[in-house]
């Protein structure tokens, strides 16, 4: 039983070892909660050596315990077998040494079946008889879960890129009939039941709880563990499954250790139903995490003669590069240097809570600070005094629980506002071509697609406006049809067109779009459509009799009015085919084509006076900064400068404000929240 208890905790800091000394850094301004800005707390700094370089055990090899000797023997046998498979190798030197250790590290770290890891698990169980997770405590939470009557099992099938196979993933579910679900992600090689203490916390708070077995863990299939690279995609698929039948379900994503890192990595493609992330002792980068993981092996190298002269610390970076180039990239399809949670925490302003133990030797508290500082949006952090890796909830359950409860209460009452796109507004006047007795309202007409006028037009017996006539024969007419405009063109070269001047803003991109249809009752003759926006012009043939979607964009180089034109003429005919065409235009609109919201405001400084708070920062150049209170009422509005800079003073009595960057079209950024 003890071996199972420690499995999954061996990489959580339960294995006895030295840990860094925590010092204090100078105070600095920082964003302290998900989207909340204030004066920062003092940031601890980590002093000490690389965790890969651990002090060797003082005993000679013959004095090692039976379990320790078994680990040393396994490593020694693995390396010897590897050498024997290299026909040109003479001893463990040079590249052969590197290749052997890379192979050992890959099998140990990434393969699901890892005999060496199992040996280390048994060793940890023997060294930690007073483990913080006792049999009694484990049985308490297992018994609690088994006593529930509202649980079920779930599965999903995912495609595994490394093996080219489908994997069946497994999860347990606690249904408390809540509109909020907590997805709880387990850590590296952790047993499912290790997370039941966390599950009870969230269940007691009334939430549904989804407990997936990570791929290659427990009941879920898989051959490789990828430290969050593919696991993050599985996580989002579990959310998809949850909201498939509950479209409005709100989801909180949380995880411990590798589960915490996976939680952060999932923000690369933020799920719209996620309202909060809670990560517990996750690492900042897979590269660094794997270096730290190797420390579990290198402590034993001293006792292996083949490695006695091998300078592991000096070769660490080379080994990681070789591991990446010869193993993880070709076998797993992942680049160790590209997968880093610290590069994901600023992808969304969804609220975040970062938790870490002050005495975490395995993932230093410095990673906690780096992740917190990089994150955007509303955020909080908790450092649990005396806690090591992954045991914060065990060391101080009441502090952990209250922090989580308080954070989620805040999230439900205060969420950063998501970025929003302004609706497309048709900038054309009279896009349905309403008309008077002598012209289309707001439109000009032309018979050469160059010179447009608003001169009155005559109407023929069909109530069509006559644009061009010869010998009392109508050559070009225009008329309203089905809330659009149609042209009749007779004879080659006779053009009919309408135009309208549209005000445009420097730097903005606009789009003219419409449907065009050949309504000529002929098999051979067909029209050509002429359309343009400012200096951009196009000519397209309409050979078929179906509606065709057309569009053209125009980027304004200055504030001006740009002419929008639509027209038609005969595109093709033969000597014996009909000498006229009918062309219909519909759904005509001109819109600002900017469909990208501005980035969230960058807040660079906050100063507090007696009654006001002055906030400085940067947004999109020549855009608007909207300051709203918690109810959405406007507090103040101002414009950024040509370099995007802004400064605004807000009464402290407002207590809380959302700050939003809004561009010329009206697209709004994700909000930044300032609490006084």
Read off the pLDDT of residues 160-177 as tens digits, 9 standing for 90 and up. Answer: 999 999 999 999 999 999
C-alpha 37/C-alpha 605 separation (Å) is 9
Query: Per-residue pLDDT averaged across 279-284, rounded?
Result: 92
SS3 662: strand
Instruction: Please tell me the predicted confidence (pLDDT) of residue 444.
Output: 98
Instruction: Please tell me the predicted confidence (pLDDT) of residue 24.
Output: 31
Q: Is the pLDDT of residue 602 over 80?
A: yes
- Superfamily of domain 602-675, CATH level 4: Immunoglobulins (2.60.40.10)
Instruction: Please tell me the predicted confidence (pLDDT) of residue 121.
Output: 67
Instruction: Please tell me the predicted confidence (pLDDT) of residue 46.
Output: 32
Q: Where in the chain is the domain with CATH 3.40.50.1820?
A: 143-283+339-413
Q: Is the pLDDT of residue 94 over 70?
A: no
3-state helix/strand/coil string of 258-313:
HHHHHHHHHHHCCCCCEEEEEEECCCCCHHHHHHHHHHHHHCCHHHCHHHCCCCHH
pLDDT band at 483 (very low <50, low <70, confident <90, very high): very high
Instruction: Please tell me the predicted confidence (pLDDT) of residue 79.
Output: 86
Q: Where in the chain is the domain with CATH 2.60.120?
A: 444-592
C-alpha 92/C-alpha 312 separation (Å) is 13
What is the overall mean pLDDT for the chain? 85
Among 546, 495, 57, 482, CA closest to 301? 57
Residue with tokens 């230093």: 364
Instruction: Please tell me the predicted confidence (pLDDT) of residue 290.
Output: 72
Cα–Cα distance list, 137 to 5, 140, 193, 384, 401 (Å):
10, 5, 11, 20, 17
586 against 127, higher pLDDT: 586
Quick check: 261 and 227 in contact, CB under 8 A? yes
Q: Is the pLDDT of residue 205 over 80?
A: yes
SS3 202: helix
Instruction: Please tell me the predicted confidence (pLDDT) of residue 193.
Output: 86
Quick check: 353 and 32 in contact, CB under 8 A? no
Cα–Cα distance list, 333 to 231, 325, 330, 338, 657 (Å):
13, 10, 6, 11, 44
Instruction: Please tell me the predicted confidence (pLDDT) of residue 304.
Output: 83
The two three-digit tokens of residue 30, written as one number: 């920082």
The two three-digit tokens of residue 566, written as one number: 């639509």
Q: Is the pLDDT of residue 238 over 70?
A: yes
Q: Is the pLDDT of residue 29 over 50?
A: no
pLDDT band at 47 (very low <50, low <70, confident <90, very high): very low
What are the φ and ψ backbone dihedral angles of 253, each rounded to 5 degrees?
-105, 125
Instruction: Please tell me the predicted confidence (pLDDT) of residue 124.
Output: 57
Q: Is the pLDDT of residue 56 over 80?
A: no
78 against 553, higher pLDDT: 553
Instruction: Please tell me the predicted confidence (pLDDT) of residue 54.
Output: 39
498 against 135, higher pLDDT: 498
Residue with tokens 């209460």: 409
Strands, DSSP E only, in 374-439? Answer: 379-384
Q: Is the pLDDT of residue 611 over 90?
A: no
Read off the pLDDT of residues 489-504 as tens digits, 9 standing for 90 and up. Answer: 999 999 999 999 999 9
CATH topology (fold) of 444-592: Jelly Rolls (2.60.120)
C-alpha 463/C-alpha 465 separation (Å) is 7
C-alpha 59/C-alpha 73 separation (Å) is 16
CATH topology (fold) of 143-283+339-413: Rossmann fold (3.40.50)
pLDDT band at 88 (very low <50, low <70, confident <90, very high): low
Query: Per-residue pLDDT averaged across 66-86, rounded?
Result: 85
pLDDT band at 141 (very low <50, low <70, confident <90, very high): very high
Pairing of strands 29-33, 151-160: unpaired
Query: Per-residue pLDDT averaged across 451-463, rounded?
Result: 96
Read off the pLDDT of residues 624-636 as tens digits, 9 standing for 90 and up. Answer: 999 998 778 999 9
Q: Is the pLDDT of residue 18 over 70?
A: no
R_g over Cα of the chain: 34
**105: burial class by Cβ within 10 Å (0-12, 13-18, 19+)?**
buried
């Amino acid at each position: 039983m003890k071996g199972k208890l420690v499995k999954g905790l061996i990489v959580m800091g339960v294995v006895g070892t030295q840990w860094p000394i925590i010092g204090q850094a100078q105070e600095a301004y920082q964003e302290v909660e998900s989207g909340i800005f204030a004066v920062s707390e003092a940031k601890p700094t980590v002093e000490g050596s690389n965790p890969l370089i651990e002090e060797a055990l003082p005993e000679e090899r013959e004095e090692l315990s039976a379990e320790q000797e078994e680990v040393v023997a396994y490593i020694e046998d693995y390396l010897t077998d590897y050498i024997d498979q290299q026909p040109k190798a003479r001893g463990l030197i040079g590249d052969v040494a590197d290749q052997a250790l890379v192979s050992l590290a890959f099998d140990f770290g990434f393969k699901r079946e890892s005999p060496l890891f199992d040996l280390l698990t048994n060793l940890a169980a023997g060294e930690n008889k007073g483990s913080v997770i006792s049999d009694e405590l484990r049985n308490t939470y297992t018994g609690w879960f088994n006593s529930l009557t509202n649980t079920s099992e779930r599965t999903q099938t995912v495609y595994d890129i490394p093996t080219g196979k489908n994997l069946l993933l497994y999860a347990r579910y606690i249904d408390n009939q809540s509109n909020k679900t907590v997805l709880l992600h387990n850590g590296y090689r952790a047993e499912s039941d290790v997370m039941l203490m966390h599950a009870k916390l969230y269940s007691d708070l009334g939430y549904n709880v989804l407990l997936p077995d990570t791929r290659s863990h427990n009941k879920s299939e898989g051959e490789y563990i990828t430290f969050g690279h593919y696991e993050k995609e599985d996580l989002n698929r579990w959310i998809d499954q949850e909201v498939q039948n509950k479209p409005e379900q709100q989801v909180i994503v949380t995880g411990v250790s590798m589960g915490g890192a996976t939680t952060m990595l999932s923000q690369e493609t933020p799920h719209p139903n996620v309202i909060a992330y809670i990560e517990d002792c996750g690492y900042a980068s897979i590269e660094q995490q794997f270096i730290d993981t190797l420390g579990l092996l290198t402590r034993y190298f001293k006792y292996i003669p083949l490695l006695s002269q091998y300078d592991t610390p000096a070769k660490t970076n080379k080994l990681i590069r070789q591991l990446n180039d010869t193993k993880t990239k070709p076998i797993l399809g992942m680049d160790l240097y590209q997968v880093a949670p610290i590069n994901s925490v600023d992808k969304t302003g969804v609220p975040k809570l970062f938790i870490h133990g002050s005495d975490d030797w395995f993932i230093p508290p410095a990673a906690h600070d780096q992740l917190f500082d990089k994150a955007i949006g509303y955020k909080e952090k908790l450092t649990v005094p005396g806690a090591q890796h992954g045991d914060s909830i065990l060391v101080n359950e009441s502090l952990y629980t209250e922090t989580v409860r308080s954070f989620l209460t805040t999230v439900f009452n205060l969420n950063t506002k998501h970025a929003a796109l302004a609706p497309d507004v048709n900038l054309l006047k009279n896009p349905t071509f309403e008309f008077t007795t002598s012209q289309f309202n707001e439109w000009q007409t032309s018979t050469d697609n160059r010179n447009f006028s608003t001169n009155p037009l005559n109407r023929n017996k069909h109530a069509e406006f006559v644009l061009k006539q010869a010998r009392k024969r109508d050559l070009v007419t225009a008329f309203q049809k089905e809330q659009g405009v149609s042209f009749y063109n007779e004879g080659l070269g006779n053009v009919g067109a309408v135009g309208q001047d549209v005000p445009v803003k420097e730097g903005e991109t606009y789009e003219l779009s419409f449907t065009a249809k050949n309504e000529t009752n002929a098999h051979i003759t067909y029209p050509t459509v002429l359309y343009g926006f400012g200096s951009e012009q196009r000519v397209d043939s309409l050979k078929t009799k179906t509606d065709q979607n057309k569009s053209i964009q125009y980027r304004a180089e200055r504030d001006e009015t740009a002419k929008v034109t639509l027209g038609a003429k005969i595109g093709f005919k033969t000597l014996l085919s009909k000498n006229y065409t009918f062309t219909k235009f519909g759904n005509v609109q001109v819109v600002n084509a900017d469909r990208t919201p501005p980035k969230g405001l960058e807040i660079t400084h906050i100063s507090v006076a007696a009654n006001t708070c002055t906030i400085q920062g940067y947004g999109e150049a020549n855009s608007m900064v909207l300051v709203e209170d918690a109810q959405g009422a406007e507090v103040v509005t101002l414009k950024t400068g040509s370099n995007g800079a802004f400064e605004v003073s807000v009464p402290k009595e407002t207590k809380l404000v959302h700050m939003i960057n809004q561009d010329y079209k009206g697209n709004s950024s994700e909000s930044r929240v300032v609490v006084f």
